[in-house]
Structure 1
Amino acid sequence: MSMRIGYGFDSHAFKPGVPLVIGGLAIEHPEGLAGHSDGDVLLHAITDALLGAVSAGDIGTFFPPSDPRWKGAASHIFLQTALEEVATAGYKIVNVDTVLVMAQPKIVPIAGELRERVAELLGVKPGEVGIKAKTPEGLNQDHVAVAHATVLLESVKLADTPVQMVTTAEVDDDIDEVVKGLVGDSRDISALGRKRPAFDTDDLT
């Protein structure tokens, strides 16, 4: 079994006149977070952690802030893309751990609700998501929200290889007889190991 670790970081300044969204959860607060999308600092950090774990680049690679399509976009769209990259690479989430650093609003009273929402978006159990909060003491970041995220992935176990038929025949003649008995002389075996095209290739232009 293969394991992967990913780390993500993001930060946004607070801005009046926009809603505050953290972890996909709308939070009552006088200010929201400035950003090209909805400024969800937590989902951005988790997205980068997932992409980094499978060496798929970063959030800016898929959703550049210069692209007007993502103006005000909900960040769960970015997260879904990262989850698709993880699945394509053959991995699944074991657990996610995060730290939010901000002076306001207080995260501890809503940490459980945040955990539930993030787990729902990730398709994992709430017990597999860690949400911690710190204040930016001595960092001069009272008007900024910062998020750190770490993810652990494990490779998805492939289905067991089908058991191959074996023969105990000791001579070539016996092997030939066994094969003839299994497939016969006139059975159509063209579909074994090769699928017929679902369309007429002559129709291609």
Structure 2
Amino acid sequence: MGMRIGYGFDSHAFKPGVPLVIGGLKIEHPEGLAGHSDGDVLLHAITDALLGAVSAGDIGTFFPPSDPRWKGAESHVFLQTALEEVATAGYRIVNVDTVLVLAQPKIVPIAGELRERVAELLGVKPGEVGIKAKTPEGLGQDHVAVAHATVLLESLGINDPAARMVAVADVEDEINQVVKGLVDAPRDISALGRKTPAFNTDDLT
């Protein structure tokens, strides 16, 4: 079967006065991560890895930081959109491997919980998600969180586009429900960014 690999990277500086969310998990810490959305550096990296694996662009293509509708948005919305793109392209996740680089908080004590949360959001088994953490020794990045993510996809073997769309109908319904809760009016998220030029993502979400 056809295989595809995707790689994603993201970084955010710590900021006082905002909650810390990593991998969709709220973590007790004096500071959170700055960003247009909730600053979830891990989900952003995974989202970009998934989109890249199927040549669908990046988060900035779908959710530009200039759009006020995504201010403070929970990053699982971005992840669900990437999952829709993967399914529509006729692929499924084999496994995901990630590395978090940050001085604080310590990830090892919560790695199991974090793995389960990410697996739940991706619709895979916890054993198919790798969570590793490193400290930024010698990099001068003690006040920054960095995430790297690699995904492996395999083809579902569905050549008929209509059949692929049926396979992802439930995903689209879930996305639409999430978006309706974030914005005042219903929005067809399936068309978000697909005809929009890529944005400079240096300061992305």
Q: Same fold (TM over 0.5)?
A: yes
Q: Distance in 1 between matches of 2:56 and 2:140?
A: 33
Deviation track 1:75-101 (CA, whole Å, cap 9, x = no partner) reads 000000000000000000000000000
CA drift of 1:123 comes to 0.0
2:50 aligned partner:
50
Q: Which runs of 5+ in 2 are unaligned?
A: 160-205
- Specify the alignment match of 1:121 in structure 2: 121
Aligned length: 159
Name the larger-Rg structure: 1
Shift of 1:158: 3.8
For 1:89-168, what aligned pairs fall within 5 Å after superposition? 89-158=89-158
Partner Cα distance (2:103, 2:88) in 1: 38
Alignment partner, residue 13 of structure 1: 13
**What percent of counterpart residues are identical?**
93
- Give the aligned partner of residue 68 of structure 2: 68
Deviations 1:179-198 (A, max 9, x none): xxxxxxxxxxxxxxxxxxxx
SS in structure 2 of the partner of residue 98 of structure 1: strand
Q: Give TM-score scaled by structure 2 length.
A: 0.77
The structure with the greater share of residues assigned to helix is 2
How far apart in 1 are the matches of 2:143 and 2:65?
A: 22
In 1: Cα distance, 2:130 partner to 2:157 partner: 25
Partner Cα separation in structure 1 for residue 59 and residue 52 of structure 2: 9
Give unpaired runs (5+ residues) of structure 1. 160-205
The secondary structure found in structure 1 opposite 2:132 is strand
Larger RCO of the pair (alpha carbons < 8 Å, separation 6+):
2
Deviation at 1:157, TM superposition (A): 3.0
Moved over 3 A (4+): none
